[in-house]
Amino acid sequence: MLLLCLLSACERRPEAGLGSSMGATASWFPEPETTVPEPTWSSTTAVPTSTGDVPTGGDGSSTSSGYPDSTGSPPDFGTVGPKCNGKIDFLFVLDRHEGAQLYWERLAEGLAAFRSDLLAAFDSFDMHFMTVDGFAAWGLPGCHDLCADTDMCAQGPGDFPCDGYDQLNACDQVRGAGLTYPAGFAASNYRCELAGGKRYIQTSLEPDVATALECITTTGYSNIGGAHAEWSMVAALEPAINHQGGCNEGFLRDDALLVIVFFWRNFDDWAYLGDPHNWAEKVIAAKGGDPGKVAVIGLITDRTAEAPTVCPGPSDGSYSSYAEKFLYFFIEHYIHGSLCAADYRPYFDAGLALVMDLCGVEAPT
């Protein structure tokens, strides 16, 4: 069963506890837990406009959020009506920061099931799929020189594509451009050849959507800090990059639902692009200012979760991480999954149920 500043840039600050070696793990990154907190969900017609306390709807009622029941049934999001017109634009924002190595196996397992389920659920839909990570540069630090000297990168994985440096095009190192050549640890490590020649999958053209989708979402992780997933998310949705001549030309469609899968291991109350309302303004502007046309499946910190929490830090409802503020304050339709849980599949299931509900799609039998 299916469950389901660009406006003002901030100075970058060092990320505490992160080393440059893949063999060393920062001590404050939690190990996988055996329990899986239930996903927190929200689907409401209220449009939050404040960065202050937890927002309420225009009629004074509180945001509809909570936990699915214990029976395993998907949450009832109410009558929100089809918002898809048979079209969905999926944007996968996948953090490849070195700290993400602790979570990659869980993410890969969750993504594999999600890809299969969503293709089955929306087999008659016209969908676009695009992936971005938190970096603008391609490959792994140090590999360019090593590849030039020895035709291999000893500090990278055995299948690192040294020949990729000679195959890069202008958009491969543009922040926010669709990722078609994942390279790194546990990455695809080859060019994803997509039908239509775009930097995103078009299901109307792609002969093997499942294989193509696996390729662009197998980003793996890097051996460098400083990833800015929120920056890449916003950059991918900017008008210039989506209009004619842009790296993502044609990805965003006015009559499609935008679904963002947002995986980010940032535990801080700080981000390169400033406050979460800056991100939200850009994301919602990409859909003509209609927050109802955006849904986010967030695999992020769980400090705001009511019970049980897994990630380190307070769980007093303080919305202490920026990623949680982004979801709870500014996104109308979202699923909040715990980054630190042992299994991400329940969160992807809940996200799929949300998207199906928004699109008026019944679960496949």
pLDDT at residue 43 in the model: 67
Q: Is residue 7 part of a domain?
A: no
**Residue 316: pLDDT over 60:** no
Q: What is the pLDDT of residues 254-284, one digit of tens each?
A: 999 999 999 988 766 655 667 888 899 999 9
pLDDT higher than 80, residue 163: yes
The verdict on residue 365 lying in a domain is no
Domain-embedded: residue 67 = no
Number of domains in the chain: 1
Contacts of residues 15-19 at CB distance under 8 Å and 24 or more positions apart, as own/partner, are: 15/225, 15/226, 15/268, 18/98, 18/99, 18/225
Given this model, what pLDDT does residue 37 score? 63
User: What does the angle CA 171 – CA 280 – CA 87 come to, to the nearest 5 degrees?
Assistant: 65
Q: Per-residue pLDDT averaged across 101-111, rounded?
A: 91
Neighbours of 75 (CB within 10 A): 23
The CA–CA distances, whole Å, from 328 to 179, 184, 258, 304, 314 equal 28, 32, 18, 9, 16
pLDDT at 314: 56
Which are the contacts of 256, defined by CB distance < 8 A and separation ≥ 6? 84, 85, 87, 88, 89, 126, 128
Q: Is residue 96 part of a domain?
A: yes
Whether the pTM exceeds 0.85: the reply is no
Most confident option among 93-102, 153-162, 308-317: 153-162
239: helix, strand or coil: helix
Residue 137: the pLDDT is 86
* 322 domain residue, yes or no: yes
Amino acid at the residue 23: G
Whether residue 4 contacts residue 349, with contact meaning beta carbons closer than 8 Å, is answered with yes
Using 50, 70 and 90 to split pLDDT, how confident is the model at 305?
Answer: low
**192-203 tens-digit pLDDT:** 999 999 999 999
What is the mean pLDDT of the segment spanning 209-236? 91
Helices of type H across 88-228: 104-121, 143-150, 209-217
Which residues does residue 56 pair with via DSSP β-bridges, in sequence order?
62
- CA 67 to the chain's CA centroid: 21
- pLDDT confidence of residue 135: 84
Question: 74 or 126, which is more confident?
Answer: 126
pLDDT tens by residue, 146-161: 999 999 999 999 999 9
Residue type, 179: L
Which domain CATH number covers 246?
Answer: 3.40.50.410
Tokens in use for 94? 């996948």
pLDDT of residue 136: 84
Q: What is the mean pLDDT of residues 341-351?
A: 94
Which of 63-67, 124-128, 274-278, 314-318 ranks highest by mean pLDDT?
124-128
Domain presence at residue 6: no
Give the pLDDT score at 233: 96
Q: Is the pLDDT of residue 240 over 60?
A: yes
- Reported as a single tens digit per residue, the pLDDT across 10-49 is 322 222 222 222 222 232 334 445 456 667 766 643 322 3
Residue 275: the pLDDT is 83
**Mean pLDDT of the residues in the chain:** 78
Domain span at residue 120? 42-48+79-359
Residue 215 domain flag:
yes
33 in any annotated domain: no
Confidence of residue 361 (pLDDT cuts 50, 70, 90): confident
The CA distance from 83 to 290, in Å, is 11
pLDDT at 242 over 70: yes
